[in-house]
């Protein structure tokens, strides 16, 4: 069955709400409006206002309420409209949810799921085009997920709700209209990266909204006789270093595609790990394709120029291979 990424997320929400009375969804415009990206459309009519809760425009307030609900035995799913607004909720996420199991000596856990849209490419200018996944991936005590496929959009939420600790799920806004076949086995492993394409000459490492670009680049490279393997990180914390190392030990080269800025990026962390784990296996320095070090522009041609693109990925691969 072919469905959209958006529809897959809605199916996951409906299943969670239907099977566990402790689960509820709250956030800005998730109810009557159906969600900023139409993910929760129809759920208010189906489950009612007690379980599909519209909130005031206060991320600090409603994410904090989600932490309290999780401590009280509920299984809240909190939707933050976009990642830039989540900065207003860093205190309850980072100072409370992530730290409470440790600070209570294991007496308390916070089974909270926070969903948010991330990424650029929609001409929303500098304040609404952030890719700050690495900020959250820096924090011990939370699990950070980035579904890049329809199957993972369907499967990650249930696994996240089963986690006794906080989980942050980043949904790249450019993926909501993505359509693909939903496989029968859509259950998702939220501990390991996934090999999306096998190859022998180099490894392309990506996640989220950059994964389709990496896959397209690998396809175009294959037409020129260059065999690239593509790894979808999926889990940004904890990183699956074993899968990355196994691929690089096979291909001996790696290019990382990350929509974040280079400085202090997730790409930088992956480069460091590959140098620590695979230095003597590498036939070339690890390379990366990231966003330009500028606030993301509004103008379409400038926005495109600032972001990782297929042509940039292909050019990085060819430089590495000297072709």
β-bridge mates for residue 172, sequence order:
118
Catalytic residue, candidates 7, 28, 79, 128 = 128
Other Cβ atoms within 10 Å of 185 Cβ, number: 8
Catalytic residue, candidates 59, 259, 269, 303 = 59
Tell me how far apart the alpha carbons of residues 220 and 227 are, in angstroms, rounded to a whole number. 10
For residue 192, indicate whether it is catalytic.
Answer: no
For residue 128, indicate whether it is catalytic.
Answer: yes
Other Cβ atoms within 10 Å of 140 Cβ, number: 9
Alpha carbon 138 to chain centroid distance?
14
Contact of 93 with 109, CB cutoff 8 Å = no
Relative to beta strand 194-197, strand 228-232 is antiparallel
Tell me how far apart the alpha carbons of residues 170 and 37 are, in angstroms, rounded to a whole number. 13
DSSP letters spanning 118-180: E---SS--GGG----HHHHHT-TT-EEE---SHHHHHHHHHHHHH-SS-EEEEEEGGGTT-EE
| H or E element at residue 235 | strand 235-237
β-bridge mates for residue 171, sequence order:
117
Active site residue ranges: 59, 128
């Amino acid at each position: 069955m072919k469905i959209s990424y958006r529809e897959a997320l809605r199916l996951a929400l409906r299943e969670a709400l239907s099977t566990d009375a402790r689960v509820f969804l709250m956030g800005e415009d998730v109810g009557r409006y159906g969600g900023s990206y139409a993910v929760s459309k129809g759920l208010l009519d189906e489950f009612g206002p007690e379980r599909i809760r519209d909130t005031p425009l206060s991320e600090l307030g409603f994410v904090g309420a989600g932490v309290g609900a999780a401590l009280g035995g509920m299984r809240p799913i909190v939707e933050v409209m976009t990642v830039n607004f989540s900065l207003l909720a860093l205190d309850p996420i980072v100072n409370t949810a992530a730290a409470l199991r440790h600070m209570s000596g294991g007496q308390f856990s916070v089974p909270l799921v926070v969903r948010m849209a991330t990424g650029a490419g929609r001409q929303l200018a500098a304040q609404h085009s952030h890719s700050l996944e690495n900020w959250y991936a820096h924090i011990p005590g939370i699990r950070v997920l980035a579904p890049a496929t329809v199957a993972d959009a369907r499967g990650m939420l249930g696994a996240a709700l089963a986690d006794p600790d906080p989980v942050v799920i980043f949904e790249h806004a450019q993926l909501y209209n993505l359509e693909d076949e939903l496989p029968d086995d859509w259950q998702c492993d939220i501990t390991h990266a996934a090999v999306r394409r096998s190859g022998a000459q180099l490894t392309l490492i990506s996640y989220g909204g950059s994964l389709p670009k990496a896959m397209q680049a690998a396809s175009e490279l294959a037409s020129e006789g260059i065999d690239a393997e593509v790894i979808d990180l999926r889990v940004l914390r904890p990183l699956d270093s074993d899968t990355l190392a196994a691929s690089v030990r096979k291909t001996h080269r790696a290019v990382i595609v990350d929509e974040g800025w280079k400085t202090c990026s997730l790409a930088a962390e992956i480069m460091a790990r590959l140098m620590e784990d695979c230095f003597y296996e590498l036939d070339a320095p690890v390379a990366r394709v990231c966003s330009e070090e500028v606030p993301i522009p509004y103008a379409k041609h400038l926005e495109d120029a600032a972001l990782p693109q297929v042509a940039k990925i292909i050019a990085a691969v060819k430089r590495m291979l000297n072709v």
